Amino acid sequence: MSKKHPSGLPFLFLSEMWERFGYYLMIGIFTLYLKDVKEGFAMTEAEASDLYGTFIALVFLTPFLGGLIADRYWGYTKAIVIGGIMMGLGYCLMGIHDLTMLYIGMTLVIFGNGFFKPNISTLLGNIYSTDEYRHRKDEGYNIFYMGINIGAFICNFFGAALQIMLGWGWAFMAAGIGMFVGLAVFLSGRKHYKGFEEKKGVSKDDMPMSKIGAVVLLPVIVFGMIGWLIPDNIFGSDSTDAFILSCLPVLYFYGNLYFTAKKEEKGPIGAMLAIFAVVILFWAVFKQNGSALNTWADRYTDRSLNGTTAEVFGVLKQSKEITYAKDTVPCTMNISVCRRRMVK
């Protein structure tokens, strides 16, 4: 990175690259691991996708809390370090073949992401807040985003090789190690963003945390619980019902914000809401990469290799030989009943 940018940029670039390495490695193998009959949890397609969707929804919710806590109480560095530790431990626990450990690991990743992700981006903006670098902030974020893409790209090769050679657990472990590497890089560069990492504190005009909880979070939780407890699912599953109903208070909040705004404020607020709508659609499609797109690739991609390509992929441990054999299922019932069930 040239001297045209703050000295802290390379450290934030590499920290985010390794964090995304771990995150997208985990996302790439998550549903495949859940559905694996022999080494995973033998979940159905619906069960795996449902759990994945719930996980992603919560990953997108927690940055609201993480950013708020860092702004007011912890400061950005403390939030980033705590979030990184939680995510690294969470990835490692997800690789332990136990359903309880899986859920504990997912919880750590959800909250860790909430502390890490929004605050490292905020810290990047802060180091560009001086007159010397302010005009290069957009360039800085473009460079930073390239780190995200690099981490998301290279993680696939490590995940595939480790799963083939050692199993799912080691692939998840690699995600955790990647997160800890990113955290080490971040800590090694602390002197370069000193003075930009402090918390903003709470001013007299800020809404109290108690009111934020009552006005924003409590209605979301209540509506989510109602959606979860509704008998006979409306939208296909308990978690989907909970998610959609929990969105209603959010929609009401923004609708009320627009319709009660002053005339001169409606234009900017309307533009913001339009951008929100487009961004929501984008991420709704993008996040199919760990479920629907993953399933499509698993089922419909011709992955047979031969010749030099097979040799190269074999050396790099990016492919493995699969032996197809007919399995027999013992049947102790009446033969006619067995046949009827096989037809079904």
Residue 324 lies in a domain: no
Flag whether pLDDT at 330 surpasses 80. no
Flag whether pLDDT at 278 surpasses 60. yes
**Which CATH number do you get for residue 29?**
1.20.1250.20
Q: What is the pLDDT of residues 5-20, one digit of tens each?
A: 899 999 999 999 999 9
Residue 217 lies in a domain: no
- pLDDT for 311: 84
Residue 257 lies in a domain: no
How many other C-beta atoms can be found within 10 angstroms of the C-beta atom of residue 209?
15
What's the pTM value of the predicted model, to 2 decimals?
A: 0.85
Domain of 149, in residue numbers: 1-201
Q: Which residue has the higher pLDDT, 37 or 3?
A: 37
Those residues with Cβ within 8 angstroms of residue 42's Cβ, 6 or more apart along the chain or in another chain: 35, 36
Segment 290-301 mean pLDDT: 87
Q: What is the pLDDT of residues 129-173, one digit of tens each?
A: 888 888 999 999 999 999 999 999 999 999 999 999 999 999 999
- pLDDT for 28: 92
What is the average pLDDT score of the chain?
Answer: 87
Residue 74 lies in a domain: yes
Residue 283 lies in a domain: no
- pLDDT for 158: 93
Counting the structural domains of the chain, the total is 1
> What's the rounded Cα separation, in Å, for the pair 24 and 154?
10
Q: pLDDT class for 333, splitting at 50, 70, 90?
A: very low
Residue 277 lies in a domain: no
C-alpha 30 chain-centroid distance: 11
Segment 99-124 mean pLDDT: 95
Residues 117 and 63 sit within 8 Å (Cβ to Cβ): yes
Q: Determine if residue 198 is left, alpha or beta; phi over 0 gives left, psi from -120 to 50 gives alpha, anything else beta.
A: beta
Residue 299 lies in a domain: no
Those residues with Cβ within 8 angstroms of residue 112's Cβ, 6 or more apart along the chain or in another chain: 82, 83, 84, 85, 86, 87, 88, 90
% of residues, the chain, pLDDT over 90? 50
Segment 218-225 mean pLDDT: 90
Residue 235 lies in a domain: no
- pLDDT for 340: 44
Segment 307-335 mean pLDDT: 71
Flag whether pLDDT at 185 surpasses 90. yes
